[in-house]
Structures are given as structure tokens and as C-alpha cells.
Structure 1
Amino acid sequence: MINLNRFDLVSLRLFVAVVDAGSLTAGADRFGISLAAASKRINELEQHCGLTLLQRGQRGVSTTASGQLLHRHAIEVIARLEQLALAVEDVHGGADAHLRLWANPSAFGGFLPRLLSAYAARHPQVRIDLEDALSEDGVRAVQKGLAELAVIGDNVPCEGLETRLCNIDRLVLLVPRAHALAQGASVPVAAAFAHDLVTLPRSASLTRKVMAAAETAGHTPRIRVQVRSFDSMCRMVACGLGLAILPEAAAALYAQALDLKVQPLHGMAVERQLLLAMRRRADLSPSAEALVAMIEAALGESTRSP
């Protein structure tokens, strides 16, 4: 029988860091301890469990089946402790309630600001802690307990999380008004891929969707500039550094101000879904549950609209 009193939280957190990094050295660096100290802690953890948790190799480490099981449960434990620490901070800070939400650029450039404005008006006692992040970072934040909710793209792996549809948008092409592709009612996606593109980082869910569409069309995208926000994307387009494929709601915000043209695309799946990710809805705080309910109500109203 394992002695629970001997489980070391530091070693559990180190184990998760090593698995996530795929390397004992990288995990030790992230944790701020020496490689020798990290190796000693992992060995002690394996001895205490009576299991081999990691397979060591020249290219790093990988989990055994037992290691995968421990990793999953260790994340659960650490997430709960993170939530406890944040809740204590809330009490010290005098907050009645707290909503921790991470969201990707598509959410910030589309439905999210208006939604949070309505939420804040309805729940003025809730302090909103909002982080602008790529979808994969949002998933990790929820998995590790740094956020209760995350808005992510529908093509992002989110193992162990529950998801709900929260928004549907349409991808469009943003071009300078004097560009040849600004003419006509819509643009074939193959024509867009014949030009330099401005994109979010390659790891972003939107960029992966664009890359997949290009591959399906038999093209290799010519990505000239990668930036971190839609604002930067649109400014690059306005300066003639390339064209951009982005959600229509975000493109419309910048088109008039920067003298750009929003063009519909055809030849690819242009509808894009955003998902709301959470650990378990049953475990959400009242603040987070209230936001989920607002999103569901808004979606219900949109489906009933003519």
C-alpha cells in the first residue's frame, strides 16, 4: 500500500514538467533545479510508486503506461492545488468571485469583447482575469488549473477536457483595396495561395487550418510574416507585405480603418467553429458556469434568428 504522506508535491510537479518537456534536462531547467537533483527526485518517485515511470533515451524521455497514468492524475492534483492557491489569493485581494478565462485571437477579434461586456454588467461582483493566448496554451492552462475556461479552435487536441460550441465564424481574405484580388465577388482559395501570406504563428489553430486547406488544394503556402495578433496581421497587409486569411468578424474591424478589402473565399471550408474548453462542467465555479450559460443562450438566440 502506498503511503500518501510520502508523496512529494515538488516531485510530482517536476515529473509533469519533465513529461511535458520530453526531456529530463529541459524539465529540470523549467523547474530551476540541477539535472542531478531532478534525476534523484524522479528516481525516488519511481521507487515510492514501485513502478518505472519514464523510459530514458538519447532523444529524451517518454512515459511508460504507468507513467502516463501517473501524469494524468498528477495534473489533476496540481490543478486542484493551483485553484486552491488562486482562491486564497482572491480572498486576500477582496474579490467576491473570480472568472479565469484564456482565449485565442479569433475570440478577441470576434464575439468575446461584447460577450464579456454583457457578462460584467450582469455580474459586477466578478473579477475577470482574461489572458490572450494561442489555443494550445489555453488548453494547457485549463489542464493545469490556471484557468477554468478557454476559447480554442476546433482543430486543437484537448484530451481530458469537455468542450462546448461557443461561436461560429467565416474565414475571409483580407487584401489591399488596390490589389488585383480585390476585384470580383469572391476569390478562389488557390488564387490566394499564389501570393505571400501574413499569418499567426504556425502553431496557431487558424494557421493550421489555413495550411491544411492549402495542402488539400495542392499548394505550399508562402508565409512571409508571422505575428501574434490580428491587429499586426492587418497592419502587415496594409503595408503590402502579404495577404491574410482570418475570421470575418476580425477582418471587418480593420478593413475600413486601414483601407483594406474583405473578400469572400471559395474552394475551401470557410466556416470555423470556436469551442469553450473546461475540465468538467459539473466542477465549474458559479462565475464560470454563468458565462457558459450566457454563451449557450446567445447561441440559442442566433439559431432562432431568421
Structure 2
Amino acid sequence: MINLNRFDLVTLRLFVAALDAGSLTAGADRFGISLAAASKRIADLEQHCGVPLLQRRQRGVSATAEGQTVHRLAIEVIARLEQLAQSIDDFRAGAAGHLRLCANPSAFGGFLPAVLARYAERYPKVRIDLDDTLSEDGVRAVQKGTAELAVIGDNVPCDGLETLPCNVDELVLLVPMTHPLATAGAGAGAGTVAMEHALGHDQIALARSASLTRKVIAAAEAAGLTLRIRVQVRSFDSMCRMVACGLGIAVLPSSAAQLYAQALGLVTLRLTGAEVERRLLLAMRRRSALSAPALALVQMIEAEVGAADGSD
């Protein structure tokens, strides 16, 4: 059995930094130590593990198969220790806990702000750290331990994570009032359009890796079309502003579309001929390992989803 006392936090952080940068020199610079001292620390770590962890090349370093495993686990250890330090600071400041949550644009533009407002009212001493990320980045944050929870699209791979439904919305089309699809409808906001017809026009979209964009791309492929993305942006706000300027049209959740339609003078159209339901999931590593603040949010969302289902 390896002696756990032989693992050194500085060396683990140096190892992670060197691999992330692809350079032992860059890792040494980050910690303000010489290259020789950094090399000695990594050599000691490899000796302690009994296997090579780095492949050293003229232009940098990369991980061996064993090094990849150590890198992944070291990130988790470091993240947990950072959470420990933050929690202690929170306790000293009078906070009752720390909630670390990632959420995708659909959550930010839809149900999440109101949920967190109710959560903050119920647990005023819990500090909330909320990151606006794409679903895939949220999954990675939970897997690495830098976030306990992430709101993601239901079409995103999340191997090894537990999930539960947290929101359902409908995808709609957002267009300028003067757009042909709007004028062909039954009045502002009251018309419908076939998904196939909508996707034949220039689109404003999030990044291609975003779960919403992937869903729209899948709908286009099912209709035998290639999605014509004219502009890619990072938020619903930017999407809607591009639509308002006439650069294209956008498919997005109804809750977000309604927020911007009135303010920007846009029209929302219902989509037909494709799956338009948009489901969001709350992802976590293990429910049994959640902190009390994270578990409280999970239980709140479960209760609200259950109440909504009961009212249907």
C-alpha cells in the first residue's frame, strides 16, 4: 500500500499545471520554482508511484496512460481541497455553506433564476457560485469536482453521472416582424411554421457544441437539410439582438424567446413537424455525496417538478 503521506499537494498541482500547459517549464514558472526543482518533484512523484507519468519530448511533455489517470484524480483532489478552503472561509464569514452550480444558457434564460431566488430566500446564509457554461462544460465541471451540480440538455453525454429532470420547455422560432415567415403567420406571435421551412433560412445559433444547437442540427439532418448558421454567439441575449438586426432567425426555448420578443420587437412562431420539446437535466456525481446546500437545491427542484407534474 502506497504511503499517502508521501503525496505532496504542491507537486500534484505542479504535475497538473505542467500537463495542462504541455510544458514542465510553464508549470515551474507558475509556481515560481526553477526547472530543476520542478523536475526533481515530478521525478519523486514518479518514483513514489512506481511508474512513469510523463513522456518528455523536446517540445514539451504529455501524459503516459498512467499519467492520464493520475492527472484526472489529482484534479479531483485539488478541487476538493479548494472547496475545503473556500468552505472554511465561508464559515468564518458567517455563511452556512457553499453551493457550486453550472448551468447552460437555456437554464439561465428560463426557469433557473426564479428557482435560485426562492432558494436564496429559504437559505440566505448559503453562498451561491453560479457559472454560465455550455452543457458539455458543465458535465466536465461535475466530473472533475469543480461543481457539484450542472443543468444540462438531455442530449449531452454524461457518463458516470446521476441525473434528474428539472425543466421542460418548448422550442419556438424567433423572427423580425418584417420577416416573410412572420408575415405569413396569423398575426404577431400567433403563427406557426414547419421546422423544415424555418431551417431553410439563415440561422443565429450558439456554438455547434451547445446542446440546443445540436438538437437543431439533428432536426435539420432529419429533414435532409444542412443547417445554415450565419452567426454563432455565446448567449441568448446575443442571439436575439442579431435577429433584431435582421442577420437571421433563431430557434430557442419559449421562456427565453418571450423575454426578448416584446423588448426587441420580435415575433415568436410555434414550430411543427419536429420534436420541439426541450428537456433539461440536473446532473451530479452521486446524490449520496452531495453537500447539504446542493442536496437542498436538488430536493427543492424535485418538489417543484413533482408539483408541476401533479397539476397536469
Moved more, 215-224 or 26-35: 26-35
Query: Residue in 2 aligned with 1:156?
Result: 156
**Residues 87 and 263 of structure 1: is their aligned pair in 2 closer, same or farther, counting only changes over 3 Å?**
same
**Residues 121 and 6 of structure 1: is their aligned pair in 2 closer, same or farther, counting only changes over 3 Å?**
same
Following superposition of structure 1 onto structure 2, how do residues 194-233 of structure 1 map, counting pairs within 5 Å? 194-233=200-239
**Residues 12 and 163 of structure 1: is their aligned pair in 2 closer, same or farther, counting only changes over 3 Å?**
farther
Give deviations 1:217-253, integer Å, cap 9, x for gaps: 3222222212221111111101101111111111111
**Residues 155 and 35 of structure 1: is their aligned pair in 2 closer, same or farther, counting only changes over 3 Å?**
farther
What is the TM-score normalised by the length of structure 2?
0.85
Distance 1:152 1:242 in 2: 26
Are the equivalent residues in 1 in contact too, given 2:14–2:27 (CA < 8 A)? no
Are the equivalent residues in 2 in contact too, given 1:148–1:288 (CA < 8 A)? yes
- SS at 1:78 equivalent: helix
Following superposition of structure 1 onto structure 2, how do residues 58-77 of structure 1 map, counting pairs within 5 Å? 61=62, 63-64=64-65, 66-77=66-77
Query: Residue in 2 aligned with 1:134?
Result: 134
Query: Residue in 2 aligned with 1:297?
Result: 303
Are the equivalent residues in 1 in contact too, given 2:171–2:271 (CA < 8 A)? yes
Are the equivalent residues in 2 in contact too, given 1:138–1:151 (CA < 8 A)? yes
- Residue 40 (structure 1) shift: 5.9
List gaps (5 residues or longer) in structure 2: 186-190
Does 2:257 correspond to 1:251?
yes
What is the TM-score normalised by the length of structure 1?
0.86
Give deviations 1:49-87, integer Å, cap 9, x for gaps: 1124456789984552x3444344323322321210111
RMSD: 2.9
**Residues 149 and 265 of structure 1: is their aligned pair in 2 closer, same or farther, counting only changes over 3 Å?**
same
Distance 1:304 1:285 in 2: 28
Distance 2:229 2:106 in 1: 19
**Largest Rg, 1 or 2:** 2
Query: Residue in 2 aligned with 1:80?
Result: 80
Query: Residue in 2 aligned with 1:177?
Result: 177
Query: Residue in 1 aligned with 2:188?
Result: none
Moved more, 145-154 or 255-264: 145-154
Moved more, 200-209 or 243-252: 200-209
AA of the residue aligned to 1:278? M
Following superposition of structure 1 onto structure 2, how do residues 14-93 of structure 1 map, counting pairs within 5 Å? 14-17=14-17, 21=20, 24-25=22-23, 28=26, 32=30, 41-53=41-53, 61=62, 63-64=64-65, 66-93=66-93
Pairs aligned (count): 303
- SS at 2:147 equivalent: coil
- Residue 98 (structure 1) shift: 2.4
**Which of 187, 196, 199 matches 1:190?**
196
**Residues 119 and 241 of structure 1: is their aligned pair in 2 closer, same or farther, counting only changes over 3 Å?**
same
AA of the residue aligned to 1:166? C
What percentage of residue pairs aligned between the two structures are identical? 66
**Residues 61 and 175 of structure 1: is their aligned pair in 2 closer, same or farther, counting only changes over 3 Å?**
same
Query: Residue in 2 aligned with 1:234?
Result: 240
List gaps (5 residues or longer) in structure 1: none
**Residues 172 and 4 of structure 1: is their aligned pair in 2 closer, same or farther, counting only changes over 3 Å?**
same
Distance 1:189 1:78 in 2: 46
